[in-house]
Amino acid sequence: MTTVFRMRSDMLNIVRDDLERRHPFAAERVGFFLCRAGRLNDDGLVILAGAYHPVEDDDYLPDDTVGAMMGPGAIRKAMQRAYAAGAGDVSLFHVHMHGHSGLPEFSRVDVDESKKFVPDFFNVAPLMPHGIIVLSHDRAVGLCWRGQSQEPTLIGRFAQVGAPMRIWRGKR
Amino acid sequence: MSGRLASQSFLGPESDSVLAAIEVGIVGLGGGGSHVAQQLAHVGIGKFVPVDHDIVEDKNLNRLVGATAEDVMAGAAKTAIAERVIKGVNPAALVTPRQMKWQEATADLRRCDIIFGCVDSYRERDELERFARRFLIPYIDVGMDVHASQEGFIISGQTVLSSPGGPCLWCLGILTQERIAEDARRYGEAGSRPQVVWANGVLTSLAVGLFVQLVCPWHGKSQLSACCEFDGNNHRVESNRLHHARNIRCNHFRSDELGDAFFCRSE
């Protein structure tokens, strides 16, 4: 069962630039990909990033224990955008960045926190896959949920579509 | 860098593993696609989805690379010939042959990192490019034709690299309503379209070059889009169409028109 995540280089450059902006108090920034999907032969999925929405400055909560803590408005707005964009046909992928090159690792907080909020995405698009993406300066890894009560699986393959085109395995 | 690919080490220190990890779809395995399959096998591509519903016939032997008279006698599938050629060069290659119309093989083609389209009609080119754009897959289109003129015949063709975000076949004027209407008018006509191996060889070599520069750029000017127009009478390749379309913002494909339109109903 393969999961492929594809995104355009020009959009990814905008995302990385956005996530590197300093926030007034949060140590890092986060955002959301709005994605569409297609089925592959082996019960696999291809996820296609179509748009990016940063979390607004006011939707962060002060919290020194994590890099960025989203307030309830951040997730509510992301879900509203997903619903407005596709009325149930749009996937939501939370995204943030680790400031290094090479394949990033999920932190314990990345995994634990995402298990709290990603299942809520199924409330607006119950039949779509949802998940999280962690970018580095040149690579990404991701987790994909295929159902609200299912455990996430690693995204196996990434393709950055541009010139040059980059393709990499998303798991070690 | 392994011994077999050592002479292309200028593509990068990890180019052999990069190329081996790529999965390529080749739609149409006649005079164009058979060349593409053979060259990509030599380049070191590791995974292939060759798609063609047809079998090889005697009339194909003037241009179908790898096909033999025995294949004609046996009524061999073009996909089987492509698989044999690929595995003959690289036994480790993973080949998923699909002897069917490409519209029935989309679940495999969606997985591909790039698709080569070597199809006959403009209608099919249009459909294939639309499919590739929906799934954010760069599409390389190869087309050649021979036209009668007052002074004899004109061999021409083009190789186009159509990438998401760049100009499409419509922007470049390769696809026009007139050409698609002409396709429809000629549908069902007896006889085959004129094709020759040397022109196909030029156009498909350009296609493979455009692909390799995209995934293993050997210089600093990797191209997202390209349109190489072949003048087979004067033996020239030019790219005037892209020059004119360079500043056009493609409005034929919206950036949010992605994926399976019926994903939620296709379980």
Looking at residues B54-72, what average pLDDT do you find? 96
The pLDDT value recorded for residue B100 is: 98
d(CA A45, CA A144): 10
| A71 and A59 Cβ atoms separated by less than 8 Å | yes
User: Is-contact B77 B55, C-beta < 8 A?
Assistant: yes
Q: How many CB atoms lie within 10 A of CB A41?
A: 16
CB contact B47 to A (< 8 Å): no
HSE, side-chain direction, 13 A CA sphere, residue B48: 36
Quickly state the pLDDT bin for B196 (edges 50, 70, 90): very high
Residue B221 pLDDT > 90:
no
pLDDT attached to residue B2: 61
Q: Which 26-55 residues of chain A touch chain B by CB within 8 A?
A: 34-41, 44, 46, 48, 50-51
CATH superfamily of B6-261: NAD(P)-binding Rossmann-like Domain (3.40.50.720)
CA A131 distance to own-chain centroid: 6
Return the sign of the alpha-carbon dihedral for residues A79, A82, A88, A92: negative
Give the model's pLDDT for residue B129: 98
Q: Say what the pLDDT of residue A145 is.
A: 97
Measured between beta carbons, the chain A residues lying within 8 angstroms of B165 are 8, 10, 161-162
In the predicted structure, residue B266 carries a pLDDT above the cut 70: no
Start-end of H helices in chain A? 9-19, 72-86, 108-121
Of the candidates B95, B74, B88, the one whose C-alpha atom is nearest the C-alpha of residue B26 is B95
In the predicted model, is pLDDT for residue A151 greater than 60?
yes
Q: Tell me the average pLDDT of chain A.
A: 93
Pairing of strands B114-117, A91-97: unpaired
The answer to whether A171 faces chain B, any CB pair under 8 Å, is no
Q: Is the pLDDT of residue A53 over 80?
A: yes
What is the average per-residue pLDDT within A70-88?
A: 88
A165 contacts chain B (CB < 8 A): yes
Rounded to an integer, what distance in angstroms lies between the CA atom of residue B45 and that of residue A37?
26
Tell me what percent of the residues of chain A surpass a pLDDT of 90. Answer: 81
% chain B with pLDDT above 90: 78
ipTM associated with this complex = 0.94
Tokens for B187, please give them: 């549908």
Q: Can you give the pLDDT at residue B188? A: 59
pLDDT at B191 > cutoff 70: no
B21 pLDDT band (50/70/90 cuts)? Answer: very high
Q: Where are the domains of chain B?
A: 6-261
pLDDT classification of B267: cutoffs 50, 70, 90: low
Nearest residue in A to B162, CA atom: A162
Q: Is the pLDDT of residue B45 over 60?
A: yes
**Rounded mean pLDDT of B97-125?**
96
pLDDT in tens, B114-149: 999 999 899 999 999 999 999 999 999 999 988 888
- At B217, the pLDDT band (50, 70, 90 cuts) reads very high
Percent of chain A with pLDDT over 70: 99
Nearest CB to A163: which of B18, B222, B264? B222
Q: Are B114 and B22 in contact (CB under 8 A)?
A: yes
Q: Is the pLDDT of residue A127 over 60?
A: yes
Q: Decide if B267 and A38 are in contact by the 8 Å CB cutoff.
A: no
Reported in sequence order, the residue ranges of chain A that DSSP labels E, i.e. its strands, are: 3-8, 30-39, 45-54, 60-61, 69-70, 91-97, 130-135, 140-145, 153-154, 157-161, 166-169
pLDDT class of A8 with cuts at 50, 70, 90: very high
Residue B215, SS3 per DSSP: helix
Cα–Cα distance, B55 to B76 (Å, whole number):
5
Tokens, residue B257? 């028109």
Q: What is the pLDDT of residue A138?
A: 95
For chain A, list the domains and their CATH numbers. 3-169 (3.40.140)
The percent of residues in chain B predicted with pLDDT above 70, rounded, is 96
Mean pLDDT, residues B213-237: 94
- Work out whether strand B226-231 and strand B152-162 pair parallel, antiparallel, or are unpaired: antiparallel
> Min CA distance, A37 vs chain B (Å)?
5
